[in-house]
Structure 1
Amino acid sequence: MDNATWVEDLAAALAAVKSELAQLGHDLDVIKLSDITYETGIPEGVIRQLFAGEQVTADEIDLSFKERLEFLVRTRVKDDGTPYKLTEIAASVEASKATISSLLSGTRNPGFEVSKKLAEFFRVDPGFFSVRGDKALLRALEPAMRQARLLASLKGQNVELLALRGSLAGGSPQLAEELQEVLEQVVAKAQGAPKPAPEDDPELRELTDTVRALPDRKRRRVMTILRTFVGME
């Protein structure tokens, strides 16, 4: 498939995403595009251009290895906020500082093992350096769209407790996969049930029972998130 074809296919896919968002009652702001950029390296401005139906080039979407590595060096920092030194990166992948410098300058191509170790060091998906830009973008949008659909399902379902709707809309990284699965179970069952009286809320009971049924480790993670949402921590 040539570049023009997959770029056109990507534009069509994003037009479909935008249309679905509108049907769900959302606008594009429900997706935190800065997070999509963080996951893929594709500039937020380019993503907005794609959603707006504007023309972009393949090179703006499918970044080179050099551009992807530069992005990780710039955005993945130590816990204290300082960037990693080239010597630290080199040591982590069992390469020389000169090798990392050459990769960043684009004068050298990486081997498979170096790419794999760099992905591990920066804690990104193993395919970060190899997956084509359009595929990476659509993959990164999947959880955001899943949250958008869940958010639409929550509307009018009397499941606005714990400020969850706001957290979902913001793409909160604290919304663990386990908690989202619990909510989806609750919504799926609640949609077929009559709306309860405020003093007798089966959705709340259902949420409580589902959380209780989780394995201990998973339940503790979910409860930590819930306590954060309601201001208990």
Structure 2
Amino acid sequence: MRAAARPDLTALRDRVDRLARQRGQDPADVLSVERLSHLSGVDPELIPRVLAGEAPEVPLTRRVHRRFLRLRETRRDKHGREWSLAAVADDFGAPGASLGPLNAGTGLPGLGHAAGIQRFFGVFAGFLLADNKSAVERALAGAPGDLDRLSFLTGITPEAIRLTLDGRPARLPLRQQVRERFEHLRRTRPREDGRPYSLTAIARSFDASGQSLTRLAQGEGLPSLAAAAGIQRFYGVEGGFLLADDTEALAAALAGIEHELGSAAHEAENPMLAVLRAHDVRSIVTRAGLLSPAGWKSLADHLDDLLAREGRLDVRPTGDPGPAGRGPVRGPEGGAP
């Protein structure tokens, strides 16, 4: 078999329901259609049918178009306005006109553009690509595992995982990263006889020729968005496997582990998660402490933009101002970001 069986969404939903009750949360809020839609990008009206296994799969071009429109609709700037195509594209060095076909639903973006869009809006690397079932699975839960399991799930070598946990993730060019992840899939998900699937077998699964993957296998180019979706579907991995940088891929796997543990008490027993968070917090606080008053204001403005892109409110108290006359930035629940 080329991939493990996909989790049953009903079982996942029941487990999350149970964990929510154990932690004193209302399952109706945790599993609300609006929340699952916001996390997955699946249209709200489709969520019940996806959970029931009754929703038809949407063609890739239409799916990516609708996910992009939902990003612009639900993750607005700090003034409540939709981000312009020019603002989104400028973030990754492209002209706004290059996103015109995607916005109109007449064409797919390149793989590099898709990566830039998802990075701009702060969503997981497969947000535009993942089929509905995969997207809802990811919104519900992740997969537990140890270091070897994390390597298998993410395509990152154990050494690169250690560097990422230490706050020093490798910064690979997208072309090299995609090729290495593709090689990882072929090496770790072989045929029943132990040999890698041929490029022809992989490409045939999405009605393409093996030659269309030759440049990817040789490290000479990126696959099209449709080919990337087909490769990930062939191997049964989530839609962002080829695109996620090391930090994002590892964070997603660790978040799934944290969710599986089901309680704050178990969280302390996970050293990898503790190390990751310790490095994140220490690094941010140390560097922020060196900022000038003008730097604090710039940082606060930048956080406003990031929170807006991710559909979160920036809540500040009305009392004493923070550095540079700004109140301290708080998370969506009023706590630290």
TM-score, normalised relative to structure 2 = 0.38
Q: In the TM superposition, what is the alpha-carbon distance from 1:60 to its structure 2 partner? A: 8.8
- Alpha-carbon contact 1:69-1:104 (below 8 Å) kept: yes
Give the letter for the 1:117 counterpart.
G
- Residue number in structure 2 paired with 1:33: 33
Please state how far the C-alpha of 1:215 moved relative to its aligned partner: 8.3
Contact map agreement 1:87 1:96 (CA 8 A) in 2: yes
Please state which structure has a larger fraction of its residues in helix.
1
Unaligned runs of at least 5 residues, structure 1: 1-8, 144-176, 189-209
Aligned partner of 2:264 in structure 1 is 183
Partner of 2:136: 137
Deviation at 1:78, TM superposition (A): 0.9
What does 1:112-151 correspond to in 2, within 5 Å?
A: 112-142=111-141
Match of 1:192 in 2: none
- Encode CA deviations 1:17-47: one digit per residue, 9 max, x unaligned: 3444676695851423322211211122321
* 1:82 maps onto 2:163 in alignment: no
Per the alignment, residue 149 of structure 1 pairs with none
The residue aligned with 2:181 is: none
Matches within 5 A, 1:42-81: 42-51=42-51, 53=52, 55-59=54-58, 64-81=63-80
Q: Distance in 1 between matches of 2:8 and 2:64?
A: 25
The letter of the residue matching 1:38 is H
- Provide the C-alpha distance between the structure 1 equivalents of 2:126 and 2:62, rounded to a whole number of angstroms: 13
- Whether 1:15 and 2:10 are equivalent positions in the alignment is yes
2-side partners of 1:62 and 1:184: how far apart?
44
User: Hey, what's the Cα distance between the residues in 2 that align with 1:61 and 1:48?
Assistant: 21
Residues 42, 61 of structure 1: 8 Å contact kept: no
After TM superposition, the structure 1 = structure 2 runs for residues 163-174 of structure 1, keeping only pairs within 5 Å, are none
Change (3 A) 1:90 1:21: closer
Match of 2:73, as an amino acid?
R
Equivalent position amino acid for 2:12 in 1: V
Tell me how far apart the structure 1 counterparts of residues 8 and 38 of structure 2 sit (CA, whole Å). Answer: 20
Q: CA deviation at 1:75?
A: 1.2
Conserved in 1, the CA contact under 8 Å of 2:57 and 2:131? no
Compute the displacement of 1:114 (Å).
0.9
Amino acid at match of 2:92: V
> What is the CA–CA distance in structure 2 between the aligned matches of 1:115 and 1:40, rounded to whole Å?
16
**Aligned equivalents of 2:124, 2:132: Cα separation in 1:** 13
For 2:8, what is the secondary structure of its paired residue? helix
* Residues 63 and 106 (structure 1), Cα distance of their counterparts in 2 relative to 1, 3 Å cut: closer
The answer to whether the 8 Å contact 1:42/1:63 transfers is no
Cα distance change of structure 1 residues 79 and 187 upon mapping to structure 2, 3 Å threshold: same
Distance 2:27 2:108 in 1: 37
Q: Distance in 2 between matches of 1:38 and 1:184?
A: 28
Distance across 2 between alignment mates of 1:57 and 1:136: 14
Paired residues of 1:36 and 1:137 also in contact (CA < 8 A): yes
Instruction: Work out the number of aligned pairs and report it.
Output: 157
Given residue 78 of structure 2, which amino acid in structure 1 is its aligned partner? D
**8 A Cα contact 2:50 2:132, kept in partner:** no
How far off its partner does 1:64 sit?
1.7
CA contact (8 A) 1:40 1:140 kept: yes
Distance 1:59 1:24, change over 3 A: same
Q: Which residue of 1 aligns with 2:250?
A: none
Q: Quote the Cα distance in structure 2 between the aligned partners of 1:16 and 1:110.
A: 35
1:28/1:59 CA distance change after superposition, 3 Å: farther
* 1:105 to partner: Cα distance: 1.2
Q: Which secondary structure does the structure 2 equivalent of 1:64 belong to? A: helix
